[in-house]
Amino acid sequence: MNIILLGLNHKTAPLEIREKLSGAASDETHPLREIMQIAGVREAFYLSTCNRTEVFFHVDEKPEETLGLLKAYLRKRGNFGAEDIDRYFYLHFDENALSHLFRVTSSLDSMVMGEPQILGQVKESYREAVDNDATGILLNKILHHAFRVAKRVRTETGIASHAVSVSYAAVELAKKIFGNLAGKTVILVGAGEMSELAARHLMQHGASRILIANRTFERSVQMADFFRGEAIRFEDLEKRLQEADIVITSTGAPNYVISQEMVASALHRRKNRLLFLIDIAVPRDIDPAAGQLDNVYLYNIDDLQDIVDENRNIRQLEAEKAEAIVADEVKRYWEWYNTLEVVPTIVSLKEKTEAIVRGELEKSSPWIQNLPEEERVHIEGLLSSVVNKILHDPIVGLKDKTIHRSAKPYIAAIKHLFKLEDEPSKKRSE
């Protein structure tokens, strides 16, 4: 099938490597536009989140050459060294690529297993792929199948009920530092989905005051109204930073939005009272140097892994159920895909036999036309029935062979025996 997945994630690459490929791209500079220009790429899907960047693509007959070109492109885009691709990236083919994609979409490969955000991120990336004319029949089918797998996992297992998001893990870390969040003031920098989730968890765990800063002030106001917090202007963040006990950042900014100098100034104004900073953005929002200051505790997204590990045992049994669903759905997809090989042969076989029946009826037309209409219909039906019964076993046998991926010799045999003409080959994605 020549389906390939090339990517890196939080398990294979540290934050400073992952953030080289992260960040939103405009329609004009979207990676898919360049990936689709690589020789041999027929369809492609590009997923980029804070924890992973993956390219899922369908190639022509020479996958090694196309793969080499794609590696070169990613190396250039991320400004990687030649050894970084082999060191940090993983590679999957065909069934393994499908299994990986299904696991990712079902949140089985997430830092926080069971978190719901990844499904939305995959859907958004799929929309971008469609908008960039990067998908065809094959990848469209695969992505819709992946969404079905995710739905099955969430409805047939309890993995979602035990899931925690990255935002929740951040709040759990804050609770460990302070003991509890009662009476604490929190500043959320960024008003996206991650910040919304953090706000929900903070309110549930007793935070008394929430300030929200976002580049779009109207969005801060909306979110503040919903959570009964206070919207602050992004340009006022530096002078308001002193009010916070906890700062959680989750913006899409390409550069630091909180510098070491800003943190040092806030500490001085709050008389060196403890300041807890959680940076869950990729690229990072807070200058890592801020963590070197006294009475400052700075954690980034990779630091949340410890909290995730604590919940892993709880979710393990449900994860095993989910893995079984993924395996079943990979098998189902593969069976469907392999039927594509035999369908043209089956159609050709039926068309040829139907043409033979029509030809014989035309030869017998003079005496058939003299029969009552009821008898003519009966004869035509009888001939069709006989032909269908003769073809039944060969067709069923041919379909059955697709399950075991051994249909090609049987396709060749049927074409030879029935003298079926080969149709010009067509791309499956067209």
Catalytic residue set: 50
Pick the closest to residue 54 from 95, 18, 96 (CA basis).
18
Instruction: In whole angstroms, give the CA distance from residue 4 to residue 398.
Output: 27
Instruction: In whole angstroms, give the CA distance from residue 64 to residue 355.
Output: 44
Q: Which helix (H) or strand (E) holds 324?
A: helix 305-363
Please list the residues that pair with 54 across neighbouring strands: 7, 47
Instruction: In whole angstroms, give the CA distance from residue 130 to residue 139.
Output: 10
Cβ pair 58, 35 in contact under 8 A? no
Structure tokens at 350: 């039926």
Structure tokens at 169: 């893990």
Instruction: In whole angstroms, give the CA distance from residue 207 to residue 201.
Output: 9
Amino acid identity for residue 258 in this structure:
I
Annotate 157-167 with b (16+ C-beta within 10 A) or e (fewer).
bbbbebbbbbb
Write phi, then psi, for 407 (nearest 5 degrees): -80, -25
Pick the closest to residue 254 from 29, 53, 23 (CA basis).
23
Please list the residues that pair with 48 across neighbouring strands: 53
The residue assigned the tokens 């009552």 is: 372
Instruction: In whole angstroms, give the CA distance from residue 334 to residue 227.
Output: 47
Write phi, then psi, for 184 (nearest 5 degrees): -90, 145
Instruction: Reduce the DSSP state of residue 211 to 3 states and report it.
Output: strand
Instruction: In whole angstroms, give the CA distance from residue 352 to residue 387.
Output: 11
